[in-house]
Amino acid sequence: MEHILNKNAMEILLKGDFLGFDDNQSKEDLISQITQSSITKIVIDASELKKWDSSLLALIFEISKLAHQKGIIIEYKQFPQNLKKLTELAFLVNRKPDTTAKEELSIFESLGEIGISIFQTSLKGLSFIRQTSLSIGRFFTGSAIMRRIDFMFALEDCSYKAVGIVSLVSFMVGLILAFVGAIQLKAFGAQIYVASLVAIGMTRIMGAIMVGIIMAGRTGASYAATIGTMQVNEEIDALKTMGISTQDFLVLPRILALTITIPMLTILSDFMGILGGAAVGIGILDISAPEYINYTYKALDMNNFMVGLFHALIYGIIISLCGCYYGMNCGRNADSVGKSTTLAVVSSIVWMIVATGIITLLFEVLGI
């Protein structure tokens, strides 16, 4: 490659072969001269060019781009047809497309859009609940298309495999509950009632809530990710093509498994929470073990115990519905799977809190 610099113009001669062009020194000298000189025109002559590859195209693109930036006229002389087309194509691509300004809506139009979006989402959610209810109905009538192995796999995943984390978290919650209660009860010399506080708190609500949160983050997210990945891989489309009900095949075994296991995990959580409270009461507050056990036994009430199990049952339905719903309505890429998993966990916890408020109010009215 040679370049001739005249007063107001530069001519670049391309001679011979340009295969894997890597003469950085020549390239830098050429770029430096174009930058520092006051030329108004560049002519690239390819009359003596023989073999070439993409490295030449990259060099021409860089020279042309610099010329455009400085307002220099550039002329391509006797270019091979294919090189000419590639050079033109390189400058046809708009690498920074113009962002069209989004039309601003009035406050009433914005509220209307939000309202329509909420209405459509609600209809979609209610439709999913209706289809799931019909699937459960088909299960009890023996006509559901559900494989036993799918149910057993889901049951295994949300039963004994969750025992470790549920036990640990519940023990710590019971321990913290005892510490918090002891701070106030010590002021009145009534630290013995820590046993009653922990027993009532764990069995009535705290055990169920802790299991619900754990299973939302563990199992609900797993449901959304698994079904969402099937959506990305078009496995759900294949099931629909074969005429298989996705509600029966995918949703039903997961809902049944979690609904069955979550009350059992709640019983374990109650026990571990009471054990955590006992560790504080007996080990730190110097309450004798027989006395602590006696006050715990007196505080335990079947009514509180059943209320906790009822909460757990509702939480199991909410978590499995949210996980399966967001998995079934996942997009077609990996990012959508992540979003669906996040939405499943967040929605499960939010609806659990809403359900807790409604159930608590209802039980208060009924005197339960």
Q: Are 63 and 150 contained in the same domain?
A: no
Taking the C-alpha atoms of residue 247 and residue 322, their distance in angstroms, rounded to an integer, is: 13
Q: Which pLDDT does position 48 carry in this prediction? A: 79
The residues, ordered by sequence, that sit 6+ positions from 125 with a Cβ below 8 Å of its Cβ are 325
Q: Which amino acid is at 246?
A: T
Task: Give 109: exposed, middle or buried? Use CB within 10 Å, 0-12, 13-18, 19+.
Answer: exposed
C-alpha distances in Å from residue 198, one per residue of 21, 195, 301, 328: 78, 5, 13, 40
Q: Are 145 and 72 contained in the same domain?
A: no
Instruction: Render pLDDT for 145-177 as a digit per residue (tens, 0 to 9).
Output: 888 898 999 998 888 888 999 999 999 999 998
Q: Which pLDDT does position 72 carry in this prediction? A: 79
Q: Are 71 and 168 contained in the same domain?
A: no
Q: Is residue 97 part of a domain?
A: no
Q: Is residue 188 part of a domain?
A: yes
The pLDDT confidence band at residue 210, using thresholds 50, 70 and 90, is very high
Q: Are 193 and 290 contained in the same domain?
A: yes
The winner for highest mean pLDDT among 53-67, 106-120, 306-320 is: 306-320
Mean pLDDT over residues 51-74, rounded? 79
Q: Which pLDDT does position 359 carry in this prediction? A: 92
Q: Are 202 and 66 contained in the same domain?
A: no
Q: Is residue 118 part of a domain?
A: no
Q: Is residue 122 part of a domain?
A: no
Q: Is residue 355 part of a domain?
A: yes
Instruction: Render pLDDT for 63-95 as a digit per residue (tens, 0 to 9).
Output: 887 777 777 788 888 887 877 777 777 766 555
Q: Are 359 and 240 contained in the same domain?
A: yes
**Domain end position, chosen among 42, 65, 92:** 92
Instruction: Annotate 8-21 with b (16+ C-beta within 10 A) or e (fewer).
Output: ebbbbbbeeebeeb
**Domain end position, chosen among 92, 115, 142:** 92
Q: Are 286 and 138 contained in the same domain?
A: yes
- The alpha carbon dihedral of 117, 122, 127, 128 has a sign of positive
> The domain spanning residue 83 has which CATH number?
3.30.750.24
Given a contact cutoff of 8 angstroms between Cβ atoms, the answer to whether 257 and 154 are in contact is yes
- Return the percentage of the chain with pLDDT > 70, whole number: 93
Query: Residue 46 is part of which domain span?
Result: 2-92
- Lookup: tokens for 116: 């329509």
The full 3-state SS of 31-53, as one line of letters, equals: HHHHHHCCCCEEEEEEEEEEEEC
Q: Are 214 and 77 contained in the same domain?
A: no
The residue with tokens 């979690």 is 258
Report the length, in residues, of the chain.
Answer: 368
Instruction: Render pLDDT for 188-199 as a digit per residue (tens, 0 to 9).
Output: 777 788 888 899
Q: Which pLDDT does position 100 carry in this prediction? A: 58
Q: Which pLDDT does position 101 carry in this prediction? A: 56
Q: Is residue 110 part of a domain?
A: no
Q: Is residue 102 part of a domain?
A: no
The residue with tokens 């507050």 is 285
Q: Which amino acid is at 56?
A: L
Extended strands (E) in the chain? 2-5, 9-18, 41-52, 73-77
The pLDDT confidence band at residue 45, using thresholds 50, 70 and 90, is confident
Q: Are 175 and 287 contained in the same domain?
A: yes
- Using CA atoms of 213, 214, 220, 223 in order, give the dihedral in degrees to the nearest 10: 180
Domain count, the chain: 2
Q: Is residue 103 part of a domain?
A: no
Q: Are 240 and 321 contained in the same domain?
A: yes
**DSSP characters for 95-138?**
SSPPPPPPPPPPHHHHHHHHHHHHHHHHHHHHHHHHHHHHHHHH
Average pLDDT along the chain: 85
The winner for highest mean pLDDT among 29-33, 41-45, 237-241 is: 237-241
CB atoms inside a 10 Å sphere around CB 217: 17
Higher pLDDT, 206 or 11: 206
Beta bridge partners of 12: 3, 44
pTM value?
0.70
Q: Are 219 and 174 contained in the same domain?
A: yes
Instruction: Render pLDDT for 275-331 as a digit per residue (tens, 0 to 9).
Output: 999 988 888 887 888 888 898 888 888 888 999 999 999 999 999 999 999 999 888
Q: Are 156 and 218 contained in the same domain?
A: yes
